[in-house]
């Protein structure tokens, strides 16, 4: 994926620097500048290519909503605000890709980044990426989708299994369900997400990924069987 350039619009220096530190963990993002006002933001947009804006609503001189209403052609915008009452208006203007309520976690920020860049690449998905960055302790690790076999819930964390090796990541399984592409990954149990292409065999109650036996939850069974039938039909057609 090519480098995506972004700016932060926030007049609170501590908030802006904290956000910059969080985004520095993502190697496909490059900071262009930090703007404390709408005026400096407009000036920067006139001279620099920007792929993403992280915009605070409550600025000392002007509301961040002014930028959304200005008529200027904007890249995807993620709103960052301590005030939930501006969320509806932000979405109604039609320029906001997501609304983050301060303080927000790195995991929630990651979802917003993916969603915003997905709007830029495609109206409905973030399908151009073939990998994901997940937090492991204090570092952020890249995982290629094709190498992930399955993921298991591990308390408030998750275990990502790849080539007979497991890595504990900070995200819960429910969050990973939303982050992973649904054409490749499927939740088959309250504790498991599997890479559909890695299934080696299955029956009514379980499936196998290589030598790992994974239970199939009753509420997930019909969707799994439908997808497997579709794959089977495609194989026969080819």
Instruction: Identify the three-state secondary structure at position 211.
Output: coil
Task: Tell me which of 95, 121, 147 is where a domain ends.
Answer: 121
User: Biggest alpha carbon distance in the chain?
Assistant: 64
- Residue 50, C-beta contacts closer than 8 angstroms, at least 6 positions apart: 5, 6, 7, 32, 44, 75
Tokens (6 digits) for 74: 């904007």
Angle made by CA atoms 48, 28, 67, in degrees to the nearest 5:
40
User: Same structural domain for residues 43 and 114?
Assistant: yes
Residue 231, CA atoms < 13 Å, CB-side half-sphere: 13
Q: What is the pLDDT of residue 233?
A: 56
Q: What tens digit of pLDDT does each residue of 118-159 get? A: 744 333 344 456 888 788 887 778 899 999 999 999 998 999
What confidence tens digit (pLDDT) does each residue in 169-225 have?
988 898 888 788 888 899 999 999 999 999 999 888 999 999 999 999 999 988 888
Range of the domain at 93: 4-121
| pLDDT score of 67 more than 70 | yes
Q: Which helix (H) or strand (E) holds 140?
A: strand 139-144
Q: Per the structure, how many domains does the chain have?
A: 2
First-to-final CA distance of the chain: 31
169: CATH = 2.40.50.1020
């Amino acid at each position: 994926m090519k480098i995506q350039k972004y700016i932060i619009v926030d007049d609170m220096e501590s908030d802006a620097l904290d956000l910059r530190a969080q985004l520095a963990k993502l190697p496909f993002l490059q900071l262009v500048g930090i703007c404390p006002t709408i005026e400096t933001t407009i000036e920067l947009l006139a001279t620099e290519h920007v792929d993403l804006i992280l915009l605070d609503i409550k600025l000392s001189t002007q509301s961040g909503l002014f930028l959304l209403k200005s008529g200027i052609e904007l890249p995807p915008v993620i709103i960052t605000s301590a005030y939930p009452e501006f969320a509806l208006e932000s979405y109604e203007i039609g320029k906001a890709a997501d609304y983050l309520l301060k303080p927000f976690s790195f995991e929630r920020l990651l979802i917003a980044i993916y969603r915003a860049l997905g709007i830029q690449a495609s109206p409905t998905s973030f399908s151009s990426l073939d990998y994901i960055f997940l937090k492991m302790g204090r570092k952020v690790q890249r995982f290629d989708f094709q190498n992930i076999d399955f993921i298991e819930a591990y308390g408030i964390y998750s275990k990502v299994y790849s080539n007979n090796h497991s890595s504990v990541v900070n995200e819960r399984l429910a969050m990973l369900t939303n982050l992973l592409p649904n054409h490749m990954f499927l939740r088959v149990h309250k504790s498991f997400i599997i890479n559909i292409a890695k299934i080696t065999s299955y029956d009514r109650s379980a499936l196998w990924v290589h030598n790992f036996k994974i239970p199939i939850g009753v509420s997930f069974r019909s969707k799994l069987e439908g997808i497997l039938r579709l794959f089977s039909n495609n194989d026969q057609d080819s």
